Amino acid sequence: MQFGLPVVLFIAAGSAALAQAPHTAQAMPCREIVSIIASQGAVVLRTGPNTYDRFVGGPGGCPLNQFTEPAWIKSADRAQCFIGYRCRDTDLDNGQ
């Protein structure tokens, strides 16, 4: 069982990353949020006391059945900070 330990370590590392608390957008400067999204491609941010959302740097961060929508949020230094995009479901009834 040569591959057992590396697989277990890989899964454990992935679970720890998923369990990390998301960044709190309102506590961070706009430029820092943009930088994190640019470096990671996609990030879950806390946008309020009990609200979270996933933001991506561009269309490549969304599944095929979704499209990007510009995302503006409140940051520590700006009331409206353009940080990238949200992924939204395609509405097939409207042909989008």
Q: Which two tokens stand for residue 32?
A: 């820092």
User: Is 35 strand, coil or helix?
Assistant: helix
Q: What three-state secondary structure class fits 51?
A: strand
**Distance (Å, rounded) from C-alpha 41 to C-alpha 96?**
24
Sequence length of the chain is: 96
Res. 87: pLDDT tops 80: yes
| Per-residue model confidence as pLDDT tens digits over 7-42 | 444 444 444 444 556 789 999 999 999 999 999 999
Q: How do residues 38-54 score in pLDDT, each as one tens digit?
A: 999 999 999 988 999 99
Contact (Cβ atoms closer than 8 angstroms) between residue 70 and residue 82: yes
- Identify the residue with better confidence: 70 or 93: 70
Predicted confidence band of residue 59 (pLDDT cuts 50, 70, 90): confident
First to last CA, the chain: 49
- pLDDT score for 94: 59
